[in-house]
Structure 1
């Protein structure tokens, strides 16, 4: 695995921890839907399914939250529909798309920011 991949995996690990601290249960990680793409984390928040995009960056690059463009948000919506189609349809609480941004400095603790309903 290259350095970028390792950084991304580290960010996903921190995101899973943050979601767990928020009371969510992780249902899947790196779930793929054909050629549509991949959902980083699928979680359950009460009776809501949460599709979570994780963006991890080092300082000096764009802020992790800036990486979710309108095109990326559309793809996340299509991926959410694919997940629901393959896992029994829309739950009572619906579906939500969240974003977890992880900023990993060269020194010191990473900063993890969770935005609910980001897309």
Structure 2
């Protein structure tokens, strides 16, 4: 696995641990369809959160959330709708929300984590 992929996977693992500690139940990870991939799908109460995780070792190339531009946000909405179409029973009665988690630091397990709810 490439170093970039390992960093991303470690960041997603950290995001999952954070979400679980915050009362979310993780119901899917790295779900793929022809349009792309959803990093994390989580539920807390009546909210279904589709979560995009961005991990960086430093801010040298900008904040991780800057990578989520308008085009990427539209794509994430389409992916969320595709996930719901395949999993309607898990989405029934839930409010859909797109969140973003940014992780910045040399070691993802201890790096700074920022969770932005309703980010997109």
TM score, norm. by length of structure 2: 0.91
Give the CA deviation at 1:92: 1.9
Question: What residue ranges of structure 1 are gaps of 5+ in the alignment?
Answer: none
After TM superposition, the structure 1 = structure 2 runs for residues 106-117 of structure 1, keeping only pairs within 5 Å, are 109-117=110-118
Give the CA deviation at 1:91: 2.8
Determine the structure 1 residue equivalent to 2:19: 19
Give the CA deviation at 1:105: 2.8
Question: What residue ranges of structure 2 are gaps of 5+ in the alignment?
Answer: none
* Distance in 2 (alpha carbons) for counterparts of 1:71 and 1:99: 15
TM score, norm. by length of structure 1: 0.92
After TM superposition, the structure 1 = structure 2 runs for residues 35-114 of structure 1, keeping only pairs within 5 Å, are 36-59=35-58, 60-88=60-88, 90-105=91-106, 109-114=110-115
* Distance in 1 (alpha carbons) for counterparts of 2:102 and 2:31: 19
Contact 1:15–1:100 (CA<8 Å) still a contact in 2?
Answer: yes
* Distance in 2 (alpha carbons) for counterparts of 1:73 and 1:58: 23
2:6 is aligned with 1:6? yes
Contact 1:97–1:116 (CA<8 Å) still a contact in 2?
Answer: yes
Q: Name the SS for the 1:79 alignment partner.
A: helix
RMSD: 1.6
